[in-house]
Chains A and B, each alone.
Chain A
Amino acid sequence: MWENIKSFASTFFVTGDPLIYGADVSIVLTMFAIVFVLTKYQKWGWLWREWLTTVDHKKIGIMYLIASLLMLFRGGVDALLMRLQLAFPNIEFLHSDHYNAIFTTHGTIMILFMAMPMMFALFNIVVPLQLGARDVAYPFLNALSFWLFMAGAMLFNISFVIGGSPDTGWLAYPPLSGIEFSPGPGQNFYIWGIQISGIGSLATGINFLVTILKMRAPGMKLMKMPLFSWSVLSSCVMIIFAFPILTVTLALLFIDRFLGAHFFTMAGGGNPMMYLNLIWMWGHPEVYIVVVPAFGIFSEIVATFSKKVIFGYKSMVIALMTIAVASFFTWAHHFFTMGTDASVIAFFAISTMVIAIPTGVKVFNWLFTMFRGRISFQQPMLWTIAFIPCFLVGGATGVMLAVAPADYQYHNSYFLIAHFHQVLIGGVVFGYLAGIYYWWPKMFGFKLDERLGKWGFWLWNIGFYVCFMPQYALGFMGMTRRYYTYGWDMGWAPLNLVSTVGAFLMGAGFIFQVWQIAYSIKHGERDKTGDPWNGRTLEWSIPSPAPMYNFAIEPRVKEADDWWRIKQEKANGTYQEEKIELEPIHMPKNSGIPIIMSGFWFIAGFGFTFEWVWMAVIGLIGVAACMWARSFDYDTDYYIPVDEIKRTEASLGRGV
């Protein structure tokens, strides 16, 4: 009996690496600490009522934000481990299998469990406020999306200490990811972690599409909608078309692995190239899904901090929506080297170059928003200005990669690695950081400290170029991605060392940002006005943080920058306030079902991962029971009485 338990435990838990044991200890200690603190201060009830069961978009946004920052830390540690291993030739810091697991989890986490939730954080926090709405279209679904994401992310992350991590790359190409070459639970963790959070992502896409189309304040025509909301619309359209492809692809891969089907194995008449096509039909739009909202953020920030209306609004809208469509016609450029017919290669080369056009136009529009403006260099604007040159160069190398015959030389080399990190860090990370700095006061009621923030900013920026510029050169030297080690003979050593130094500079930048947040909680400049940046759009017209119902009175919109208009009119005395009586506000009730249902999804996913069918069945029954319970729950909403609204507004310093 004891022997059985021992042998089970030795395969169930990942063993043999001191790094992993260290992680085990820290995970257990952290959990104890959390439980201890919550119990000591009797906060369990508060946690459950205020956060775990909330359907308030602002709180869900904050939870997304916390989760994404934790994932940024995890993915960042993965990156630093890889850079340590590559700092010198022939070192044995990580072995091949460990290195392979780390680059796989780094990629998967950074895209799916860092970029996506950070994006959803900003969707949630900003979009309803920008639209003058009181919540999203489906608040319950919104909470469910978040908890599904959490369940998926946690399932993926425990593979690190239980069962073993996936190690076939972030897109898990078969046949390598098939059962023959990758037996064991690692790949299943990958499939189910992404599947479960993917359902949440799709639901979020639908939720915000409907919110934007149906819940705009009266008077806000589509062409008077702020550009961030437009970018969210574009992103949601892509999510709705792309994520089902991902779900189907991974489902087929799982059927191959679990039931022995042959969708993606040559041996049974399947074709692994079909997987490549399918996964990139999702994967390419996916990078636009995450970068387009960053474009929206920059558009808001550039206008605000140049004190000038955005240049070429119509052009911007056209560009955003063109990208949403064009992004679905470029996927094959990820495998120009497949030996396909020349006409296919030519088509995808051209389509890929074409998508650079709307993207380039946006850069011009941002520049000419600054032109004849008055630029102030506060933190959100700093990140925006840093983004422009970074993204220009990254975009240019992207166009170079689109030149298919040249791509045969770049493909899978560090040139490619440098390119996509430049657009993903320079575009997505800089963009979201800019957005976080910009809307932070709206979330929490205080600004983040400038001095520490500037340290973080410069370390990130210098670190970025030190890390990734050498990688372009390494690509020309023939260094291939996913090498866990290399010899002295190729001349790759010096540039790799430089690159590692750059990675650690970025790591230091992140530490400064964590410090900045901790410091600012106590010492940050408080925002009493609700409008700390002299903003232009509706979210700045209400107090910071916003009351739970957002707007006591539904705004009546006349222009795209409506808050700016009101401020202008008030300044020159032409403002006429409409007299609108307060009415009770219709709000959704909190619900515990999203978190419970996601818990069951986690159980089901865990069961499928270890191919313990009984456990998967229990999980799925739980999911069905939760859906049943929700379907017959008629007590899902309530009204906030006028008195309470008056009291809340008065306590926020706003008489109504």
Chain B
Amino acid sequence: MRARKLPNKVFFWILGIVASILLSGCGNEYLVLNPKGPVAETQYNLIIISAILCGIVIIPVLVITAFIVYRYRDTADNKAPYKPEWAHNTLMEVVWWGIPVIIIALLGYFTVRDVYALKESPNKEVKPITIQVTALDWKWMFTYPEQGVATVNHLEIPVGVPIHFKVSADAPMNSFWVPQLAGQVYAMAGMTTDLWIQADEPGAYHGKGANFSGEGFSHMQFTVNAKPQAEFEEWVQQTKQSADAMTKEDYEKLREPGLTEEITYSSFPKGLFEEIVAKYSHGHPMEGMDHSGHESTDAVQSEHSSHHQMPSTSPSN
């Protein structure tokens, strides 16, 4: 789902002008306005569309306000009409109930369209990979069920491949956010939420926790390194050969409140993420709050079924 063609050319020009105003003088620091993947781009387009639609209403109103306040000021020689009893005009009132209704209907259309669109893979032609995200106190752990590797506080992804994040937490609620690639989703203990991301260009992207989780929250930042597929696979191979394995004890240590540097693991305990989710859910793992049933790929299906086997292995705490 690349950025859609907007209804007509005029609209596109307005969009271009507003975008160039917004972006002029703001370099790469404006992460949200510099999307590097289709999901963030969809959201960027919506930001621009909504800004324009709101602008259509408020800019004229601001002008009218200034005009009225100036013209009808109370000075002795003001010749503007004064009608102290004029208090009703059906036509006018219909107009200003009507204009916002139309604007909202238009905006509502775009909103609903993209709410549904973002629930699915942004690129159906390419087989996605799944990465599991766990928010800890106060660090991010990423486990790659398909590659078998794991990382802490940094994330390596291939360019041009849609990535299906399954997000959970073994700590207070947090929110997983990589502004240049996609808007955020909550990370909640005992539940998994889904987020699709795809990077279109190689680069290092800023990622972070966006929901307050206590003392070390401000330091819960990580880097997303997007690299070409071949390099990514090379990284996986290298990691498997050279990095240390994560043991259960290592994980328990990670779980303790505190800050850590970036870490890379050649492997992680099998089913770690599923265990993390299940231990809070008393044998009834919740598939996030998501009942949309739009699971589209084999990877997700197998993920699913492994989930449902979890209760039997769920630890007693």
Which residues of A come within 8 Å of B, CB atoms? 96-97, 100, 168-169, 173, 175-176, 181, 266-269, 272-273, 306-315, 335, 337-342, 345-346, 349-350, 353-354, 356-357, 360-361, 363-364, 367-368, 370-377, 385, 388-389, 392-393, 395-397, 399-400, 402-413, 473, 475-478, 480-486, 490-492
Contact = CB atoms under 8 A, between A and B. Distances in A.
Contacts of A410: 32
Given A377-B73, A409-B40, A403 B50 contact: yes
A411 B183 contact: yes
Contact of A491 (B29, B58, B61, B115): B29
Given A267-B317, A408-B118, 8 more contacts: A310-B87, A315-B97, A342-B116, A346-B111, A349-B111, A374-B82, A388-B65, A403-B110
Contact of A372 (B83, B96, B104, B186): B83
Contacts of A346: 111-112, 115-116
Interface in B111-161: 111-112, 114-119
5 contacts: A308-B86, A372-B80, A388-B65, A392-B61, A411-B183
B88 to A, nearest CB: 6
B271 interface: no
Question: Closest 4 CB pairs between A and B?
Answer: A408-B183, A339-B193, A266-B190, A266-B280
Contacts of A486: 218
Interface stretch (B206-214, B242-250, B297-305): B206-214
B19 to A, nearest CB: 12
A92 to B, nearest CB: 12
A313 B87 CA distance: 8
Max chain A CB contacts within 10 Å: which of B44, B186, B191?
A: B186
B210 A175 contact: no
A409 B292 contact: no
B186 A335 contact: yes
A339 B189 contact: no
Interface of B: 26-27, 29-33, 40, 42-44, 46-47, 50-51, 53-55, 57-58, 61-62, 64-65, 68-69, 72-74, 78, 80-89, 92-93, 96-97, 100-101, 104, 107-108, 110-112, 114-119, 167, 172-173, 175, 177, 179, 182-186, 188-191, 193-195, 206, 208-218, 280-282, 288-292, 317
B315 to A, nearest CB: 12
Contacts of A342: 115-116, 119, 292
Nearest to A492: B29
A308 B87 CA distance: 8
B194 to A, nearest CB: 6
A477 B93 CA distance: 40
Contacts, number: 274
A173 B172 CA distance: 9
B87 A337 contact: no
Nearest to A412: B210
A596 B231 CA distance: 74
A407 B211 CA distance: 14
A403 B182 CA distance: 15
B289 A400 contact: no
A191 to B, nearest CB: 18
Nearest to A310: B87
Contacts of A407: 183
A405 B43 CA distance: 6
A353 B96 contact: no
A410 B47 CA distance: 10
Contacts of B115: 342, 345-346, 349, 404-405
A403 B193 contact: no
A411 B58 CA distance: 23
Contact of B31 (A360, A478, A485): A478
B223 to A, nearest CB: 11
A363 B282 CA distance: 52
Max chain A CB contacts within 10 Å: which of B96, B208, B217, B291?
A: B96
B208 A480 contact: yes
Contacts of A368: 89, 92
A363 B96 CA distance: 10
B186 A337 contact: yes
A360 B93 CA distance: 11
A309 B87 contact: yes
B108 A408 contact: no
Contact of A341 (B42, B177, B289): B289
A408 B179 CA distance: 9
A371 B54 contact: no
A49 to B, nearest CB: 45
Contacts of A402: 111
Contacts of A385: 65, 69
A361 B32 contact: no
A367 B61 contact: yes
Given A309-B84, A309-B85, A337-B185, A478 B179 contact: yes
B215 A96 contact: yes
Contacts of A307: 74, 82, 84
B217 A483 contact: yes
A375 B75 CA distance: 9
B96 A361 contact: yes
B97 A357 contact: yes
A403 B46 contact: yes
A163 to B, nearest CB: 18
Max chain B CB contacts within 10 Å: which of A169, A372, A409?
A: A409
A485 B215 CA distance: 12
A227 to B, nearest CB: 12
Contacts of B193: 338-339
B74 to A, nearest CB: 4
A176 B54 contact: no
